[in-house]
Structure 1
Amino acid sequence: MKKSTWFILSGLLGALLLAGVVSNFASGHPDGLDSVAREGCTFDDQDQITGGNCMAQAETDNQTKDSPLAGYSVKGISNEFLSTGLSGVIGVLLTFGVGAGAFWLLKKKA
């Protein structure tokens, strides 16, 4: 195998490990954008907006909420650790496949 092939495969393996294992240890707290969007509102124990004025009040449901990989999990798998990890692995493989296909098409044209 060429050096570039080993490089690509080792990068893919690293991404798969990160997506499949490390993704389960990501913080469940709101990220920076969510935190800013919630500024100015008050919340109850169930994290529902009870008053104030903030961007989060204009939030709508995600249009892909019923998709197989919605919510960083795989629909139908009840084990949360496995579901999150598998969702990450599927995402990495899909992204790699689309990227590899695009490079393959561009290489054929050149």
Structure 2
Amino acid sequence: MSLKRLLVLGLLVAAVLAGIVSYYASSSPDGLEKVAGDKGFNAKEEEHPLGGSPLADYGVKGVEHERASVGLAGIVGVGVVLVAGTGLFWGLRTRSRPDRQDTRKTHA
């Protein structure tokens, strides 16, 4: 299998998982949130400054259908991670330049 084909397949699997399977994730509070509620030290909890953003609370603001909203947010997340990861890869990769001498030892 070629690298390009493998990357496209991986992207499709990630999009399917984020867009469809993510809807079935538990909506129960995670461990820290549950303990905070049980012990009562979440009484001073405040709304996050970005709580009103378009992708807050694992959904897309303005999309009324919950399943579509969660799935779309997952797909947008995959896209954001893809773009950020690609940007980091291209920005941090080492570039071979013709003016550099090859410092690797060659074995005859």
**Aligned-residue identity in percent:** 40
Counterpart-to-counterpart distance in 2, 1:28 and 1:99 = 28
Residue equivalent to 2:60:
74
Calculate the aligned-residue CA RMSD, in Å. Answer: 1.6
Q: In terms of mean alpha carbon deviation, does 21-30 or 5-14 score higher? A: 5-14
> What's the TM-score, normalizing by structure 2?
0.80
Moved over 6 A (4+): none
Q: Which structure's residues are more often helix, by fraction?
A: 1
Unpaired stretches in structure 1, ≥5 consecutive residues: 41-53
CA distance in 2, matches of 1:12, 1:36: 36
Whole-angstrom distance in 2 between the partners of 1:92 and 1:73: 14
Aligned to 2:20: 21
Deviates more, 1:100-109 or 1:66-75: 100-109
Distance 2:13 2:72 in 1: 15
Task: Compute the displacement of 1:55 (Å).
Answer: 1.9
Please tell me whether Structure 1 or Structure 2 has the larger radius of gyration of its CA atoms. Answer: 2
Give the structure-1-normalised TM-score.
0.78
Task: Structure 2: state its 5+ residue gaps.
Answer: 97-108
